[in-house]
Copies of this chain bind each other. A is one copy, B any other.
């Protein structure tokens, strides 16, 4: 990457992105907390916190097996609120559309958002619409920002301890593979995992300490981020990490790291040893692949135990899969 310019890798959810964002130097956060988390929080009265997040979606292609950019945008922002333990209150929807964009496609996208909004009872309450001349933007990009509320005691940023269990709510990499299949025009049965995680998180909120959704950069990115924040390590067992056979095959075919593949409807959470099986049992009602995949260690790295021995799972770098969300 040319040091003077912004490279594609700066948008991939890995090391280069962290560096770019750090370079902005937004350090004065007023009374807000969790500004480097999925959503920022602000103390209100009555032991409640306001929760606020924002995401822009630039996914390519716009329509892919099991979803589209609208569905993804709704889920992505709702999940950023939910993994904090929050109840979403309302969303904004800002569209930037290319001149000449087919009205029919726009209707499909809006219709996906409306359907989710009604099903989950989270209204779209404000927004903005811009149109750019033909050729100045690739079709459409969507920003969804969201506000929510959480009781102080429910915020999922609790202290974790050595021995705590690492749990995942379902198989990894399905969103990335569904997109890649469309992009490279191969046939697969894999559809995106994109979905709101509200119900799953409500079911286990009292039992887990921390939750994170592995989007750009996959579990490789978020587990390393967690380790760095908590100053702890993790030991994962490769055999326990759920992934569909087709997903694994695509990663082998394309030579990409399974653990760096984006999910859009999965979360990793950490619970005490005592609660772990209960968490998995509750999550299995939503997805039978939910599983304990490892535990917290006293190290400072993410280590994966494989049949060939242990290896470090590093922070992702490079371009990964561009425009995944």
| Interface, chain A (partner B; CB < 8 A) | 2-12, 17, 20-21, 24-26, 28-30, 32, 35, 39-40, 42, 44-46, 50, 52-58, 60, 89-90, 92-104, 106, 110, 114, 117-118, 121-133, 136-138, 141, 143, 145, 147, 322-323
Contact = CB atoms under 8 A, between A and B. Distances in A.
Contacts of A104: 4
Given A35-B126, A123-B30, A132 B4 contact: no
Contacts of A32: 90, 123, 125
Contacts of A17: 129
Count of chain copies? 2
A72 to B, nearest CB: 13
8 contacts: A5-B99, A6-B98, A6-B102, A10-B129, A24-B114, A30-B122, A56-B128, A58-B130
A28 B132 contact: no
A32 to B, nearest CB: 4
A277 B128 CA distance: 34
B54 A127 contact: yes
A15 to B, nearest CB: 13
A44 B124 CA distance: 18
A131 B29 contact: no
Nearest first, the 4 closest Cβ-Cβ pairs linking A and B are: A11-B131, A54-B92, A145-B145, A40-B125
